[in-house]
Structure 1
């Protein structure tokens, strides 16, 4: 049983290629540590490659280097690699996603950014509402400042 089985919809994770090929998902983002060994389960580049070559998808990637020293347990870690795929005409979502991550780096994550991420990834507003409600209900929500602020704003007990 998955943590997400209680959602009233199926999340896109693991179904990105299928949903993009059917036109139901305009954009996908995959993240891995940098440097890393290629792993299709984390970033399915081989699965997407033929569709990029045929022009069905646009691909972009970038590496965000660590601002400081890596954790003592991971001295080989240098940053985070992000790989993006979009449908034709939807490349603006990649730019918006990169901008969203930069904003989050400056001001921290927020409900506004969570909702923006959902829209960029192709989720409907009601799905993002359900996602946020699920996040708020999880015990781990206390570990995320933006969820603590949102719970307090709503007068929820887990604030």
Structure 2
């Protein structure tokens, strides 16, 4: 990789890292898993950077890679793993969650429903774009959105000053 490409990639990462981490956190529900997901996506992006740099939206490639990797990971982890020790849970102090109640409710959703909600509402993608990203039909996106919103409405308190309402 040429030095100008390295500098461009470093600048891209420095400028977009907070948004990518927030997106990853919304997808995974965990700051640690989000950091791993972003790192994996950026590593894959680095391999194709010279080609992606010419495109209008390299961030779209990174986000798509994050969604695809997240789907691959949860497909592989369909089983529960029992352990006799509860792991320590450390919260990332730098990760700003605008609404803790919303994050908790999102974390309770099944992974596919969470991905649909994040892509539809946090990333403002159309149903067709979400379907393409997740490799499913538009009808599946609609039904998963409906089910997820119903669960979120049940879990979230009605607040007049809420910043986001499903």
TM-score, L = length of structure 1: 0.30
Name the structure where strand makes up a greater proportion of residues. 1
Which structure shows the higher helix fraction? 2
The TM-score, its normalising length taken from structure 2, stands at 0.29
